[in-house]
Copies of this chain bind each other. A is one copy, B any other.
Amino acid sequence: MQPYWMTHFLLPDQEHAHAQAVGEALEQARESVAGLVGCESFEIVFTSGGTEANNLAILGLLTSPAHRNESPGHVLVSQLEHDSVTAAARSLEAAGIEVEMIPCEPEGVIDPDRVKSMLRDDTRLVCLQLANPVLGTIQPVREVADLCHNQGVRLHCDATQVFGKLSVDTTRLRADTIAISGHKFYGPKGIGAIYVRRGLHLSPIAYGEPREMGLRPGAENVPACIGMGAAANLASRCAGEVSDNFSELSARLLKGLQSSLSNEPILLAEDAPRIPNTLAIEMPREVSRIRRAARQLVFATAQSTEPPDEITRALKAIGRTDAQIGRTLRISLGWTTSRDQVDRAVGMLAEACG
């Protein structure tokens, strides 16, 4: 990224030989991100992050004049979605669009048959994430996309949680739009992208000089795009290896906890397909006590039940009680996590619960 601050700091559309090089590097980065999801580079639009990508997919589709002759219509949003999906959809209720939540099954996944029963003649969009960031559960996006397309409904997929863990392919997934966040797979913060299936018309949701195929105004954040492109290359190249390593370490973590604790911890959504680095574990002790004794560990816990935060919502969606939610840790492993670190984490958690 550094050269694009220090020497090649011009914008692609400026008049200078350096600007042309910047434009070429930007398009190279776009190709790298396209490679991450298996699409053409013209189907990738850079955004300021995953939140903007989700907003652009939903608001850009539902406010597009290309679809203006449709009735306000109906949108289905899975109960497990990120706030930037749910709140974007809800913002359209003022325009008469009806938003309905798809309940999550106790296993932590959305059931395609239930989606099928909820689709209506005026349904315009279904929002279904690829993997839940709390439970790690992989959702049946392909099955739901096929159902949707049979009825002329579009499907938006927030896939931000999956990159760097599993490989993603637009031709297998068949979503119409896919949200991508750079910093979720070791790219920089402040950058994301949206895949927009060729031929699908979105409207921009911000106004200014037309950039990014007319879908996003404002000076391109070139260094961040370059950084995200490099991270995408790495994530594409290592997907298989990383995934195997995550599976091994996750199993080691869980086995370690189970053998060192008398009251066994419970891995939530254990029977569902899951991304291999994310574990929601119900411990035998309250989180507050664990946190005090395991200060060197970074894990996530429910912070608020009212309004429910992301973790609370996911755990409530699979029927956990408040007491169970108060004992649940969300642990995720990174590319650099080692066996030794996993063993030390097990030791700290066991001590905290002992």
Contact surface of A with B, Cβ cutoff 8 Å: 5, 9-10, 14-17, 48-52, 54-55, 82-84, 87-88, 90-91, 181, 183, 188-191, 205-209, 217-224, 291, 295, 298-301, 310
Contact = CB atoms under 8 A, between A and B. Distances in A.
Given A14-B298, A55-B206, A189 B291 contact: no
Contact of A291 (B15, B88, B190, B217): B15
A291 B222 CA distance: 25
A208 B51 contact: yes
Nearest to A220: B189
Contacts of A190: 48, 190-191, 221, 223-224
Contact of A88 (B49, B183, B207, B224): B207
A84 B300 contact: no
Interface of A is mostly: loop
Given A51-B217, A191-B190, A221-B48, A88 B208 contact: yes
B83 A189 contact: no
Q: Of A48, A52, A190, A299, which is in contact with the most chain B CB atoms at under 10 Å from its CB? A: A190
Contacts of A87: 207-208, 217
Contacts of A206: 51-52, 55, 84, 88, 205
A82 B209 CA distance: 8
A224 B298 contact: no
